[in-house]
A = this chain, B = another copy of it.
């Protein structure tokens, strides 16, 4: 397999009772997935786990070995329910230390905000040997250790950390996609979809039905790392749908 075909993968662990209780609607899965696509990395699997050291550790050890990158979100704040750093250090069998640069950043950030208390200093703790990920939004940095990226749970802070990482990770060809929509029940054109996918190596077609304005419809997404392959598959799919009597809407409905 040539270097161009190597597929780089990532896993994500979303840490937090607030997601599992339904209190908070997760936004990081979609946000990180979209960002990874642009970096040429595929999000292959996600786990959502509780604020529980064993659950975090099990997920970390299961996923870090079988993916190029592992991201985590949540549990790196200053309160008692923020246990991500300790849980990951334990899973890796390393200690926890105060990172001098993180301490300096927090000291600067809190200089005019009441000073660096013991609770705030918790946010400078990292698994031994870790580097920091810049956080321009608030004082506490993210953490990188080997292929593990430990990030905030609050989506706009996560976004800032992703921005700091943009272009720094090795990836492959970005996964491209294009969408087309049709006011058709997907069961009407299932054969046509699977035929279009079969005829175009390296393309996947996803079919996403909906019910809107009292009518059924579906959007079809073609994904490929090759722009030419994607364009050809999309052109065939469009032609096949229209030949079958279903007008298509570019970009989806």
Interface residues of A (CB under 8 A from B): 14, 16-27, 29-37, 42-51, 55, 77-81, 110, 113-114, 117-120, 122-123, 137-138, 154, 156, 175, 177, 185-188, 190-191, 193-194, 197, 204-211, 221, 223
In this complex, which of A114, A137, A188 has the most chain B Cβ atoms within 10 angstroms of its Cβ?
A188
- The answer to whether residues A80 and B193 also contact, given A120-B187, A154-B210 and a CB cut-off of 8 A, is yes
B20 touches A48 (CB 8 A): no
Asked if A77 and B207 make an inter-chain contact with CB atoms under 8 angstroms apart, the answer reads yes
- Which residue on chain B has the smallest CB distance to residue A187? B78
Is B23 touching A177 in the complex (CB atoms < 8 A)?
A: yes
Is there an interface contact between B24 and A30, defined as CB atoms closer than 8 Å?
yes
The residue that A187 contacts in the complex, of B30, B50, B119, with Cβ under 8 A, is B119
A66 → B minimal CB distance (Å): 11
Q: Are A44 and B33 in contact (CB under 8 A)?
A: no
User: Known: A26-B30, A29-B19. Is A79-B45 also a contact (CB below 8 A)?
Assistant: no
Given A18-B206, A177-B21: A190 and B37 interface contact (C-beta under 8 Å): no
Besides the known contacts A78-B190, A119-B187, 8 further A-B residue pairs in the complex with CB atoms under 8 A apart: A17-B223, A19-B30, A19-B33, A21-B43, A21-B223, A24-B208, A77-B209, A154-B210
Chain B residues closer than 8 Å to A210, beta-carbon distance: 154
Q: A25 — which chain B residues lie within 8 A by C-beta?
A: 27, 30
Would you call B45 and A46 a contact (CB within 8 A)? no
A81 contacts B23, CB within 8 Å? no
- Tell me the smallest distance from the CB of A13 to a CB of chain B, in Å: 10
Contact A79:B194 (CB < 8 A) given known A45-B49, A48-B45: yes
Question: Is B48 in contact with A55, judged by CB distance below 8 angstroms?
Answer: no
B residues near A45, Cβ cutoff 8 Å: 20, 47-50, 55
Of B17, B30, B156, B191, the contact of A119 (CB 8 Å cutoff): B191
Give complex CA distance A205, B14 in Å. Answer: 18
Cα(A20)–Cα(B32), bound, Å: 9
18 A–B contacts from the bound complex (CB under 8 Å): A18-B206, A19-B29, A20-B45, A21-B37, A21-B175, A21-B177, A22-B30, A22-B43, A24-B208, A44-B50, A78-B190, A79-B186, A81-B204, A81-B205, A81-B207, A117-B187, A119-B188, A122-B190
